[in-house]
Structure 1
């Protein structure tokens, strides 16, 4: 099994691919700027209007920008994988790295690693930038749950990127994956939550955002929610591996 583990040359080659694909690298950078920028703009516009103007949960409201940043994270994961399924890209990659497990694990590891770094920076920057405009309604890193929420924001963005990456390996199309995931994440939880709040907590977005809530949910705790999102992302990554292993190039 150790022979299938990522190696430095393979990871380096995958980094070159990501860096050279303008859309993929742009999506990675956008995770930071969209999440932080929208949070700061929204806080500057309405943050001091009245207590609770950004939302009933002040801790979750401190990461309002993640609603938009997660789209960039999903786009990053999807486009990083979809490039392999155009113009014989996968065939060329497997000529260079014949071991499919090493190839797939290297790509997924790099996607997850880059998303984690971008996500953690975005989480901290979003919190600090947004709270700087909240005036008397601001909260600090020393307040209960704040550091957990910052870490949770980064993990949420990371797992969403991996979720999209795994599904793209299955469907072979970033467009198809984003067309499914964006409505699923942005709309379905509201539809289900209106009639079954407890069940909605097991959806990927609701579960992952539990880390950014001041109070735990009615069913899932903060860390349990992160665990549920990890299962969603893990299932997608495993599904992607099975598809890459069995599919003819």
Structure 2
């Protein structure tokens, strides 16, 4: 019976095996390694918001409402041959923009809240651990999209109404009226959408945040209409003055009240409200789990 061969002597592993996984001297990775910044987050959020169907649907319905109702209103007014008494024809764009703002509110909420519903927010936070950077990118991308789309639609409707009603004793809008009726109201609607985005981040529930924002738009005006008691007149007046529909109408110089905000005041009010909501969203985002 033969004896087994003696075991082979143990030898030290070569240097390349002992340091497996460590970069070798002179090796350069073909994948560029760069420090991430806000620009990368902006590109990521732009890619996401343009690739989902909700963006196309909400902005498409927004454009349809603003342009469709604006065109219909202009045609009806021009065909009835009224005397506008020297008023600016830009005011007719208010009706379509008020309804269209509901679409901007919806898109603002979905920009943040929908990711919590699908769980996509976890992937987003893994790709970009800086939560403040993620929310900043979302807010900036959404604000610019909402502003540009609203500006284009409001300007087209304004030119259409001026062309249709120039022979109906309507005064040509001044430069300030054009600025408020296009850029001013577009900034206001974009800020309203940004406020909705912040509320969506705070609540993290699409349906709840959309309901809350639509209630904030319509409830003050509806509640004020049913305040018949004389003791509530001051409250009723305040609800009328600071309701979002009335503040939007101020950009067209046809306020529902004779007092309250005027000029560019509604823009500053909405700016403060959106900033406060975003500050709350930032604070909660850092404290809560995703």
TM-score bucket of the superposed structures, by smaller chain = 0.7 to 0.9
**Cα distance change, pair 175–52 in 1 and its aligned pair in 2 (3 A):** farther
Counterparts of 1:207-246 in structure 2 under 5 Å? 207-213=247-253, 217-246=258-287
Partner Cα distance (1:6, 1:162) in 2 = 22
Unaligned stretches of 5+ residues in structure 2: 1-35, 228-232
- Asked if structure 2 preserves the Cα contact closer than 8 Å seen for 1:59 and 1:149, the reply is yes
Cα distance in 1 for residues equivalent to 2:243 and 2:281: 20
Higher mean C-alpha displacement, 234-243 vs 62-71: 234-243
Partner of 1:130: 161
TM-score by length of 1: 0.85
Indicate whether 1:201 and 2:247 are aligned: no
Gaps of 5+ in 1: none
Cα distance in structure 1, aligned partners of 2:224 and 2:89: 24
The aligned residue for residue 182 of structure 1 is 214
RMSD: 2.7
Residue among 112, 115, 118 paired with 2:146: 115
Check 1:137–1:67 CA distance in 2 against 1; reply closer, same or farther (3 A cut): farther
Cα offsets for 1:124-180 (capped at 9, x unmatched): 112122333335154534376233222222112201211111111111122112212
Deviations 1:10-32 (A, max 9, x none): 11110111111101232134333
Distance in 2, Cα, partners of 1:139 & 1:30: 31
1:1-249 matches, within 5 Å, as 7-49=38-80, 50-51=82-83, 59-134=90-165, 135-142=167-174, 145-192=177-224, 195=233, 196-213=236-253, 217-249=258-290
Q: Number of aligned pairs?
A: 243
Give the Cα separation in 1 of the matches to 2:184 and 2:259: 19
- 2-structure distance, mates of 1:143, 1:214: 17
Aligned counterparts of 1:158 and 1:66: Cα–Cα separation in 2: 12
The SS at the match of 1:219 is: coil
Farther-moved stretch of structure 1 (11-20 vs 82-91): 82-91
Q: CA deviation at 1:107?
A: 0.7
